[in-house]
Structure 1
Amino acid sequence: MRYALDRKAQTHQRIVKEASVRFRRDGIGATGLQPLMKSLGLTHGGFYAHFKSKDDLVEQALRLAVDEAKAFTRETFTGPDSLSEFIDVYLSSPHRDESGTGCPLPNMCAELGQLNQPSPLTDEIIIHLLDAFDEAQQIENPEPKSMLVLSSLVGALMLSRSVHDKQLSEHILKVTREHVKLHISKQDTAEVPLQSTVTDEIPLNT
């Protein structure tokens, strides 16, 4: 009996983990239950032995994605250059390309916002990241900069994933990385120059 319960718990976790990847990579609406279960060697009918509905799975899968993101943040923010290092990782080509295992915010904001179905998990990960950014800056009143950094990171990542031209995608990541890091290096936001320090022209293929 104990073995059967353990096996069911393991299967349940496999479904949640795979769904968490697919929801981030493909979107919640585009992820069907039958293909999801089939990819794990399970039947569609078996789904309801684990979850009340797809919404139940969505909640658990997003919970896992948020917990993974929070764990990564805690592991990353351990030194004086943590915020700069986090920016480099967040706005990197691997993070752009591996959406299924990356930060859940871009997909959560785009899809749940469009459906007018905001989730408290979105609030949770935003507050967690802002707190980490605040602490890493070690300045008086860091919250405005932290909010700007987070908005810039999520927005740039979404843009870089949306464009067809890979050179333009890389340029979006590079420019945002450099300007956000420049911004947090200034003690006063008024000191941040408006002109670009990135001399590369935007690479547009015609």
Structure 2
Amino acid sequence: MARYAKEHKQVTRQRIIEKAGHRFKQDGIDGSGISTLMSDAGLTNGAFYAHFESKDDLVANVVADELRTQIAAYGALQPGRPGLEDFVREYLSPEHRDNPGSGCPSAALLDEIGRCGDETKQAYTEGAKAIVEEIAARLTPEDPQSARGTAIGLYTMMVGTLQLSRALSDRKFADEVLEQGIENGLAFMR
């Protein structure tokens, strides 16, 4: 019985984290109250504190989970640079831009993460470093450290490009920003 209860609690906790991740990316961290987050997970407000010490604790867990999921997605890409090129095109697509709730946590939440506590910033830092390492390993598998600066440049350019495209009301200009971002990203890889 205790084993079931522990597994059930872990499954429930993960459901809260996943639903909160979508809601945070869609509405922002500050725009998502505990009652909404728990309702999204099909639970009452009272159940929240059985899983998390505070909203900050939840945010840190969501950020870590979102970045782990993003890093795991690299495994589905083609090996090396071709997979990275596919990733750049997919990341800077109108579909990704128009669906922040199911997209990259960096592009959706970076400004808010910068105002979060140390636990969330640490979770983000670890995830961002892992993404940069993954990009660098695809750029120069024989010596990833040599491509670290290029990987940082590519990652920051992609996140900023997506954020800018999302902020524009002129759809044609927003698409142009994405298209130029793809060209810039591919140029980074040459």
Q: Which residue, 120, 123, 147 being the options, matches 1:121?
A: 123
1:51–1:117 CA distance, 2 compared to 1 (3 A): closer
Tell me the CA shift for residue 75 of structure 1.
2.6
- Quick one: distance in 2 between partners of 1:8 and 1:125? 25
Alpha-carbon offset, residue 150 of structure 1: 1.2
- The number of residue pairs the alignment matches comes to 184
Alpha-carbon distance in structure 2 between the residues aligned to 1:28 and 1:90: 22
* Percent identity (aligned): 32
Structure 2 length normalisation: TM-score?
0.86
Counterpart Cα distance in 2 of 1:75 and 1:135? 15
Unaligned residue ranges in structure 1 (runs of 5+) = 186-206
Matched, 1:180 2:185: yes
* Separation in structure 1 between the aligned mates of residue 134 and residue 6 of structure 2, nearest angstrom: 38
Structure 1 segment 34-73 matched on structure 2, within 5 A: 34-73=35-74
Q: 1:48 to 1:144 in 2, by over 3 A?
A: closer
The offset of 1:77, in angstroms, is 5.3
Provide the rounded CA distance (Å) in 2 between the counterparts of 1:82 and 1:21.
25
SS of structure 1 residue aligned to 2:9? helix
Deviates more, 1:98-107 or 1:2-11: 2-11
Alignment correspondent of 1:130: 132
Once the two structures are TM-superposed, the CA of residue 23 in structure 1 deviates from its matched residue by 1.5
Q: Who is 2:22 aligned against? A: 21
Aligned-CA RMSD value: 2.0
One-letter code aligned to 2:25 = R
Aligned to 1:78: 79
Distance 2:99 2:139 in 1: 28
Aligned pair in 2 of structure 1 residues 13, 129: CA closer, same or farther (>3 Å)?
Answer: closer
Give the Cα–Cα distance (whole angstroms) in 2 for the partners of residues 77 and 56 of structure 1: 35
Unaligned ranges ≥5, structure 2: none
2:97 aligns with: 96
Q: What's the counterpart of residue 200 of structure 1?
A: none
Correspondence for 1:160 among 152, 158, 165: 165
Q: CA deviation at 1:68?
A: 0.2
Say which structure, 1 or 2, has more relative contact order (CA 8 Å, 6+ apart): 2
Alignment partners' CA distance in 1, 2:16 and 2:116: 26
CA deviations over 1:7-46 (Å, ceiling 9, x no partner): 3322222111101111122111111111121233321112
Q: If each structure's helix is expressed as a fraction of its own residues, which one has the higher value?
A: 2
> CA separation of 1:176/1:37 partners in 2, compared to 1, >3 Å: closer, same or farther?
same
1:142 corresponds to: 147
Give the structure-1-normalised TM-score: 0.80
Query: Cα 1:168–1:38, aligned 2, differ >3 Å: closer, same or farther?
Result: same
* Deviates further, 39-48 or 10-19: 39-48
Structure 2 CA distance, aligned partners of 1:128 and 1:16? 20
SS across alignment from 2:189: helix
